[in-house]
């Protein structure tokens, strides 16, 4: 994997990345669905509010799928590909904010009032 830690890991492309072999995401329909919901990088697989990986059922609904099988496989394959250093960094990102300050999400962000940066939520019509 080209990036194994820090912000570089979070911005590592999820799709068509030879170092990150997420086979299920190579399907044209799956990759198009992931692009439409703006899940295209490793960091997009994280739920920053919950401090965990995205919920496969929520991702399935956003992708217009009735079952979470495909999103679950995307998450499993992405996790399995990450080296131990990268997994340790993501554990740190998932840690409660009281233990460690959370890194700013370097993508899909919009300035909030008073110039505070906040991550944008998963773009999903049915998630609201």
Cα–Cα distance measured from residue 127 to residue 58, given in angstroms and rounded to the nearest whole number = 7
Cβ burial of 124 (10 Å; 0-12, 13-18, 19+) is middle
% of residues, the chain, pLDDT over 90: 34
Which one, of 40, 28, 25, lies nearest residue 80 by Cα? Answer: 25
Handedness of CA 74, 76, 81, 82 (dihedral sign): positive
List C-alpha distances in Å: 27 to 15, 22, 55, 74, 92: 10, 10, 21, 11, 31
Segment 31-42, tens digit of pLDDT: 999 999 999 999
Segment 60-103, tens digit of pLDDT: 999 999 999 999 999 999 999 888 888 888 877 777 655 555 55
Residue 128, pLDDT > 50, answer: no
Residue 28, pLDDT > 70, answer: yes
Residue 125, pLDDT > 90, answer: no
Handedness of CA 38, 88, 5, 13 (dihedral sign): negative
Q: What mean pLDDT value characterizes the chain?
A: 76
**Average pLDDT of the segment spanning 9-21:** 86
Q: How many CB atoms lie within 10 A of CB 49?
A: 8
């Amino acid at each position: 994997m080209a990036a194994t830690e820090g912000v570089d890991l979070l911005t590592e492309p999820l799709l068509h990345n030879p170092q990150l072999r997420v086979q299920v995401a190579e399907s044209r329909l799956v990759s198009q669905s992931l692009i439409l919901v703006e899940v295209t990088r490793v960091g997009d697989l994280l739920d920053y509010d919950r401090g965990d990986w995205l919920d496969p059922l929520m991702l399935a609904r956003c992708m217009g799928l009735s079952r979470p099988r495909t999103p679950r496989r995307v998450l499993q394959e992405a996790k399995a590909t990450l080296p131990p250093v990268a997994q340790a960094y993501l554990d740190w990102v998932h840690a409660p904010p009281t233990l460690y300050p959370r890194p700013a999400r370097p993508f899909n962000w919009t300035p909030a009032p008073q110039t505070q940066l906040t991550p944008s939520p998963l773009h999903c019509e049915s998630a609201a």
